[in-house]
Structure 1
Amino acid sequence: MADWLAAIILGLVEGLTEFIPVSSTGHLLLTKEVLGLADEPWNTFIVMIQLGAILAVVALYFARLWKVLMGLPGKDPAARRFTLSVLLAFLPSAVIGLLFHDFIKTVLFNPTIVCISLVIGGFALIALERWAPKPRIEDAMTFDWKTSLGIGLWQCLSIIPGVSRSGATIVGGLLQGVDKKAAAEFSFFLAIPTMVGAFVLDFWESRDLMTAEFLPVLAIGFVVSFVSGLVIVKTLIDFVGKHGFAPFAWWRIVVGTAGLALIWGGVV
């Protein structure tokens, strides 16, 4: 398969799955296996194109984020509180990511681990849909420090491909009484520093791969993930409000089970 076509396919998978609780990394790794792509440079490609989808959040929430940014020099309490809540939620995964980055890419980027994580996470979402605590927080920009830190600790589970970064943060929010829409929205905001950090770290550690042949392919995946990410971010909040997270849970279970069948059958 041509590299440019593989980049388009992976970019679509990234943009369509980054913000829903189905694990974009897990889907990307499974897609890479199905397409028969080598681990490198495609494992690096998978991590780095996630920034394209994250920029979709910046574009769509630009007005609100700009208001926060402008409020910080004037010491606006609301702006400062929101910024600190996102940074506090980001901190645990930043530490884990720095300590275990190589282990994650060399050991955990494994299709079997991905599929098992998808299935377990799917059943966890179904259980949470039924027994989640009654919501008490409805605004993603007004979390207290305990709620933010709790979500950040849950996000650490997403170092395991297949768990889902958005899924882990949404579950962490729901368990602490955050409304479904607010949990999804805070997951959007938290993705910005998390994925920017992952991009910078992977870019630096994989700088030898940034060749004249690889960079155009990376650019294609980046743009495709940005455009498809825009579509998902614009529609996800309303979808979750109407249907909850059960559709994503069943999708995880179906994909994970199908993946395990293919792996155990020797197809991939």
Structure 2
Amino acid sequence: MVKNILTIAGTDPSGGAGIQADIKTFSALGTYAMSVITAVVAQNTQGVRSYRTMDAEFVGEQIDAVFDDIAVDAVKIGMLANADIVKVVASKLKQYNVKNVVLDPVMVAKSGDPLIDETAVAAIRDILLPQVTIVTPNIPEACVLLNKKEPISLDEMEVEAKNILQLNPRWVLLKGGHLTGNICRDVLCNSQETYEFVGERIITKNDHGTGCTLSSAITALLPTMTVPKAVEKAKAFLEQALQSSHQLSVGHGHGPLHHFCNLWK
């Protein structure tokens, strides 16, 4: 049967990131996409203008509406905006005993605009991370989670990934795309295993929604394979979407990936 995958995140009216990128990714990978909206964001390829958060109780009602009716095979969590929403989402994950949970700790947009308030960080760290299967921070997000002011270097990545593991997610995927150089390195680890993914940097300005797409791809694949295999295949999907992004002409800033590059002929 086709797997049912839920995203809990904020919107992107330009279609490159957030809920819209999640739904495209789930669909491209052959799963049935569902969504719970945590925030409505006014943004485009050039940046975030403003956002409005949903009432936390209403976020919970959306989650209940899905789980009361539908068997959910995996959940991806993106923008949560404030502590009240984090607490509701964490409570619902526990209530419904969700097995496959991917947390993309969305804190800052590619343009540098903040997408979360300070109250949410501690709540994510303390009550949400212990419930997730895998968390997928980039370097800036890892620094926020670790309360670390100095940037993480290439040599420090494995150490810092294991430090995030001390916050009790089952797996950590620390993404190194924000570091300079022609090589991109990601580190995946749990309490017993460590994997390294190394590849050439794909040079393109169409990289809006990269983090959302990778975490969504992992979520779509997770019900049918191990975490390391899901990460490997998700990264291959992301690479294809980035390499094909030149086929799209969307906006004047960081354009979107081509999520349907293998389907649109």
Q: TM-score of the superposition, structure 1-length normalised?
A: 0.27
More strand by share: 2
By relative contact order (CA 8 Å, sep 6+), the higher-ranking structure is 1
More helix by share: 1
Query: Which is higher, the Rg of structure 1 or of structure 2?
Result: 1
